A and B are shown apart, each in its own frame.
Chain A
Amino acid sequence: MKHPIPLVLCAAVTLLLPAATHDGYIIQLLNISILNAIVVLGLNFATGWTGQINFGQAAFYGLGAYTTAIATKAGLPWITTPVLSALVVLVASLALGLPTLRLRTYYLAMTTIGFGEIVRLIIVHWEPVTGGTSGLRAIPGISVFGFGPQGQIQHYYLLVAALALAAFIGTRIRKSSLGRAMIATKDSEIAAEQSGVDTTRTKLLAFMIGAVYAGLAGCLYASSIRFISPDSFSGVQAILLMTMLIVGGMGSIIGCIIGAVALTILPEALRFLGQWYLVLYGLGVIAVIALAPGGLASIASVIRLRQAGGR
């Protein structure tokens, strides 16, 4: 580890946070921000590293959530839901990625926008199963052979563990030949090909791994928040996830987490501003992109560079 002290500090704050507040609303917000962070980590594979624009991440998130909700409400044991959610998004992302990823970047953007809309329409109109616009409530909670987290704080720790695992696997991929192939594909597709990288396979893998991240986050969302509605997985959410990735820092695992947490909590923290909140939010996003194009995660190194330049 390059920065042990900040890392230990972050871990300590994360673990002690629930002790500082007993406000259920805040813990719930944190839980959602952690789930979003897992989804953004998934988005980072295809978009941050491989350079493919993916607006389907919210739809995969939703597919995972609805699969879990419908399965558990139908009486299936919870333990089957991560597998089911992962399978559903794997099939969907393969069907979507296989034909489009042979093509250039923007085709994936187009097809994933369309895909997101299709998923949303199905959720809204298949009312008997999905509950339509009013969503599904009273979704059974996480339970493995009768054991499961009770209350929001236990859920918080479970989700932190899930995020840590997601980040850990992301780091392993980054340090493997697959991770290098992803970044090589983004930097120069032709040079990657001529170096023996099957760029089509790499793009497809990045897209599918990311979809599985979103699907599993959706599974955890449904069974820890216990209520889902189409709004949480709409096209607006897809753009928000992309914004989290860009503001946090494309390609940086820490950046994904910072971006997701910041942009999930900020709108709530700025709620007292009423409509002005959107203005401030927009300005903030523009400021980050203009002043630190590498995202929030790069600010530390930007400051260091400025200081070095000033000397």
Chain B
Amino acid sequence: MTDTPIIVARGVTRRFGGLVALDGVDLDVPRGIVQAIIGPNGSGKTTLLNALSGASHADAGSICIDGKEIFRLKPHRIARLGLARTFQNIRIFSNLSVLENVKVAAACNTPASLFNIMAGNARQRQSEAEIERTAREALQIVGLSGRTGDRATQLPYAQQRLLEIARALASKPSVLLLDEPAAGMNMTESMTLLGTIAKLRASGITILLVEHNVRLVMGISDRVVVLDFGKKIAEGAPAEVQRNPLVIEAYLGRRHRHA
């Protein structure tokens, strides 16, 4: 069982009007690795993440997480099955505190009962205490423990990205999708982020990483998938993929080869 890939996607297709954003993409992600998805602008990386997380459903195909078919499930159902994500354009909850942002996801698998909330009984206090503990742990992992009481919007940009990661972690996912987590970060911040990703990998979480910065990706990924015009054009270890002529062409264009 542990040998089967944690994500098995087959023939994932997504059309926007006449544009085929994803064209029958197959994807296998083995357990516990860092898998990168790279590709030029508009190659379908984020569309693929959206299809996996249910944010914007694929039109056709099949997607299994941990052996469970999630195709066309609502995103919260997918989240509860153990798939969490962050966003390319930061989407934190601006009217909540840093801690509360993370608590939202920490409550992922403990649905609130209105009766318990109104009664304020022991069960309610216990579940809130548990949510708080999970949330604080997640904030600790990304190094935001010192800012729990601040409004989320008071955090600087790079820390808002970390907050999104903490929020994703709080739902205790087995798969974590990171959509350009280093965007807008400086060198030091990116390095810290890489350290955090390595830590998460070591804790057994499978990480699917969409990243524009190819250099950043190559250092940390175990495997790389390359998309171009909605199709998978290459797959393998980072070094292999880098030498692949199709990949070089996709990134640099055909003329480069003739020059």
Measured CB to CB, the nearest residue on chain A to B53 is A194
Residue from A177, A181, A183, A193 whose CB has the most chain B CB atoms within 10 Å: A177
Partner among A184, A186, A196 whose Cβ is within 8 Å of the Cβ of B79: A196
Footprint of A on B, CB under 8 Å? 53-55, 74-76, 78-80, 84-85, 87, 91-96, 100-101, 103-105, 107-110, 112, 114, 117-118, 120, 124, 127-128, 131, 167-168, 170-171
Q: Which residues of B contact A199 (CB under 8 A)?
A: 76
Q: Which 7 A-B pairs have the closest CB atoms?
A: A196-B108, A177-B107, A195-B105, A193-B75, A191-B91, A196-B79, A187-B93
The answer to whether B171 and A196 have CB atoms under 8 Å apart is yes
Q: Does any Cβ of B come within 8 Å of A289's Cβ? A: no
Measured CB to CB, the nearest residue on chain A to B116 is A176
The answer to whether A191 and B92 have CB atoms under 8 Å apart is yes
Q: Does any Cβ of B come within 8 Å of A198's Cβ? A: yes
Q: Which residues of B contact A220 (CB under 8 A)?
A: none
The answer to whether B118 and A196 have CB atoms under 8 Å apart is no
Nearest CB of chain A from residue B93's CB, rounded to whole Å: 4
Q: Which residues of A contact B124 (CB under 8 A)?
A: 176
Q: Does any Cβ of B come within 8 Å of A275's Cβ? A: no
Q: Does any Cβ of B come within 8 Å of A197's Cβ? A: yes
Partner among A173, A176, A188, A193 whose Cβ is within 8 Å of the Cβ of B93: A188
Q: In the bound complex, what is the Cα–Cα distance between A19 and B131 (angstroms)?
A: 46
Q: Which residues of B contact A251 (CB under 8 A)?
A: 95
The answer to whether B104 and A195 have CB atoms under 8 Å apart is yes
Q: In the bound complex, what is the Cα–Cα distance between A199 and B93 (angstroms)?
A: 14
The answer to whether A194 and B100 have CB atoms under 8 Å apart is no
Q: Which residues of B contact A192 (CB under 8 A)?
A: 76, 93, 104
Q: In the bound complex, what is the Cα–Cα distance between A36 and B85 (angstroms)?
A: 42
Q: Can you name 19 A-B pairs with beta carbons within 8 Å? A: A176-B112, A178-B112, A178-B114, A178-B117, A180-B103, A180-B104, A183-B95, A190-B87, A191-B92, A194-B75, A194-B84, A195-B76, A195-B105, A195-B108, A195-B167, A195-B168, A196-B109, A198-B76, A199-B76
Footprint of B on A, CB under 8 Å? 169, 172-173, 175-178, 180-181, 183-184, 186-188, 190-199, 205, 209, 251
Nearest CB of chain B from residue A310's CB, rounded to whole Å: 20
Residue from A193, A195, A209 whose CB has the most chain B CB atoms within 10 Å: A195
Q: In the bound complex, what is the Cα–Cα distance between A184 and B168 (angstroms)?
A: 14
The answer to whether B117 and A180 have CB atoms under 8 Å apart is no
Q: In the bound complex, what is the Cα–Cα distance between A142 and B53 (angstroms)?
A: 53
Q: In the bound complex, what is the Cα–Cα distance between A251 and B74 (angstroms)?
A: 27
Nearest CB of chain A from residue B113's CB, rounded to whole Å: 9
Q: In the bound complex, what is the Cα–Cα distance between A222 and B195 (angstroms)?
A: 64
Residue from A175, A181, A209 whose CB has the most chain B CB atoms within 10 Å: A181
The answer to whether B112 and A194 have CB atoms under 8 Å apart is no
Query: Known: A176-B117, A193-B79, A196-B79. Contact between A184 and B74, CB under 8 A?
Result: no
Q: In the bound complex, what is the Cα–Cα distance between A126 and B49 (angstroms)?
A: 56
Residue from B75, B96, B101, B170 whose CB has the most chain A CB atoms within 10 Å: B75
The answer to whether B95 and A187 have CB atoms under 8 Å apart is yes
Q: Which residues of A contact B109 (CB under 8 A)?
A: 196
Measured CB to CB, the nearest residue on chain B to A209 is B114
The answer to whether A196 and B55 have CB atoms under 8 Å apart is no
Q: In the bound complex, what is the Cα–Cα distance between A193 and B118 (angstroms)?
A: 24
Q: In the bound complex, what is the Cα–Cα distance between A180 and B105 (angstroms)?
A: 10
Q: Which residues of A contact B96 (CB under 8 A)?
A: 180, 183-184, 187
Q: In the bound complex, what is the Cα–Cα distance between A177 and B54 (angstroms)?
A: 23
The answer to whether A190 and B91 have CB atoms under 8 Å apart is yes
Nearest CB of chain A from residue B79's CB, rounded to whole Å: 4
Measured CB to CB, the nearest residue on chain B to A192 is B104
Nearest CB of chain B from residue A296's CB, rounded to whole Å: 18
The answer to whether B76 and A197 have CB atoms under 8 Å apart is yes
Q: In the bound complex, what is the Cα–Cα distance between A192 and B168 (angstroms)?
A: 11
Nearest CB of chain A from residue B28's CB, rounded to whole Å: 23
Q: Which residues of A contact B120 (CB under 8 A)?
A: 172
